[in-house]
Structure 1
Amino acid sequence: MALLNSTQTSHVAERAKYFFEVLEAEEREKIGANRMWRVHLDLLNGFDELVSCKQSLRLSLEDENLTLLTEEQLNAIVQPIDLLSQYNDHEAKQAMHLGELRRAIGTLRYLQNQNTSNGKESASETCVVCLRHFHGEMAVLRCGHRFHQKPCFDQILSRSSGTSVQCPMKCRLLTAKNEVMIATNKARDDGSNVTRKIKGSYGTKISRIISDILTIRDKGEKGVIFSQWNDMLDILESALIENDVAIARPHGGRGFSESLRSFQSPNCTVLLLNLKQGAEGLTLVHATHVFMVEPIINNGLDQQAINRIHRIGQTKKTFVWRYLIQDTIEMKLDKMRLKNQGGNDVLEDSMNSMRNSLFALGGIDGGISSQEELLEILD
């Protein structure tokens, strides 16, 4: 102790302090680089999405036998006599979709303004017809305005002629009667009740998934099931086969494309995919339902899986089914995904917080990046 307190060794404490400061700065630099890498990866995935959605058109060749081509290849071939008409048709479609995009952006801004109220009671929290607070079910139009379903919207509907509904707020955007959405903040059940009789006993979540798949099968629709665990896909495969549901499940290799072609047949209802195999580079627009078996923390990977179905070329509505067990860690994981979906804190300055270590889960969605996030989930 006398040696350490002497003037000859006073520089040891200063060097030790400087050493730990450099060590902490290095850790912060690693965290910042990791976050920047994630943002860059999401950007590249977006570019890949755009590239995979494009399709080059070409003129038919002289003496080309078009009967040997598939339907997708025929869609990319233009006859010389149809060149001008198709050019004008694409110009008109582009103008129409740009107009729809502008209207959708306006609706989005209105909904965002409704969501960012400063904790005070606003007019958006009351029905503009009866001026009462919302309760029960609400009818929502395409413009974003909402009304009590009974009796307010019934009165609006009775005064509307034709197949469209005119908003009482004099919005220029008309809403077809079959496009009116019904929203409610009251849960009808806990989601565990099944409406179909299921063969076998597979637990609450699996039984509900099988019940929903049987419902879409009877409607003649198709769906894709995503999970990051092969064991879960094995259980779902056994349950679907037992309930007489035609499935396709690629396992990689040469059989991957063969399984995808079998899914396109009218008799096949469900495609089972591992997120690692099926979240990139696939186009499955003939399906309209996406089943997410468990929550995914990485919002980018979650969106990639949905965009296999909901992408350019899809002409029908896409339905996303998420299955979460109440009062479990799945609820907190999904809340973290929704938090990351906002994208406001992706580029947060890493110098403001110190992460001591990195944690990786067994999944493929990037795991948890800090001890604080892990403790927040487990709290």
Structure 2
Amino acid sequence: MSADASRTADVSSRRAAIVLALCLPCDALLYLLLPMQAQAFGVTLAQAGILLAANRIVRIFGYSYVMRFYARHGDRPTLMLAAGTAAVCGVGNALVSGFWWLLILRFGWGLCYGAMNLSTQVLATSEAGGAAHRAGRSRAYIAAGPMIALPLGALASLYFGPRLIFLLTVVSALVGLWVARGLPSAAHALSAPTGRRFKLPDGVAIWSFVEGVALDGLFIFGLSLQAQAMLGGNAVIIAGVLLALRYVSEMLLAPLGGRAAANFGALRMLVVFSTLSALALSAFGSHWLIAGAAAVLILRALQLPLVVTIIAQRNPNEGRVQAIAANAVWRDIGAGVGPLLAGVLLPVASAPWVYSLAGLAIVLSAVGCAWKK
């Protein structure tokens, strides 16, 4: 690999990550404000839950179309279209009321996020050398957007209400559209179709599904419940800071996860971090709530660059784009299943048992991923 190729990969990966960072506040602020101010958006609390899940649902069924569009047209046109769609979603979140209109916007956001997320991962792994480092740095850039937007948006909503703040996300997304103009426009090769539309998940996809259930589903849902029950003060500010801390950990620690993968091996670190996550989840389910939650956030951030690095190592040629997209679908399925399981299990089962079993599942899936190389 030449130094010029590595430098080009670094620049393109960073630019794509900045585009996503500029567009992501539109979604992050909705997760913060919609559940607490559902009536201001003209929906019920139950409808708010459906709206927040809709972006993942549409990606489960639409990722194959996003992947083919991205592969055919390349990064620049795809991300310019995605950033423009994010700007439209910001306008809608600020001005449109009612479940069905907001549902259309959530579907649009889900597809454009899928395109931006795919681009960041493909560009980060476009050159094998330094892929883990680029993946870690990419996650740090992406996290910067919602990390800044969440506490500021929470504070602004106290003075201007939960809607008008989304007009600022329109400006941010339009800046992202301008940044996307500097991306490469070359198409991406796809492997030849196998004739099977649905493929069983491999070891990496199984781990991503389980991690989505446990950390993006059970943990986030449980954290919201515990924070609501235990923390006083202004709920919007507290929730905004808690969600921002998640992105702070990604920004600071994801590069360290990439460095650990490069130095010690991504598979080995996946098993190590998964084992530590299991211990942290067990603590989170007990009276060590704060320590367990902090440890989960730290370990989640460290794990972010690992999976895409493993996928790139196992799919070095044309199959890389499809493998990354397929893995993202399984992660979304897990993240959608997690809150449903939490809503059923946590009211009737012991929290330490629920989170300990979730941690055990993460460890077993990581060992299975490493076993089936």
Asked whether the two chains share a fold, i.e. TM above 0.5, the reply is: no
Looking at both structures, which has the greater relative contact order when contacts are Cα pairs under 8 Å and sequence separation is at least 6?
2
Higher Cα Rg, which structure = 1
TM-score normalised by length of structure 1: 0.25
More helix by share: 2
TM-score normalised by length of structure 2: 0.25
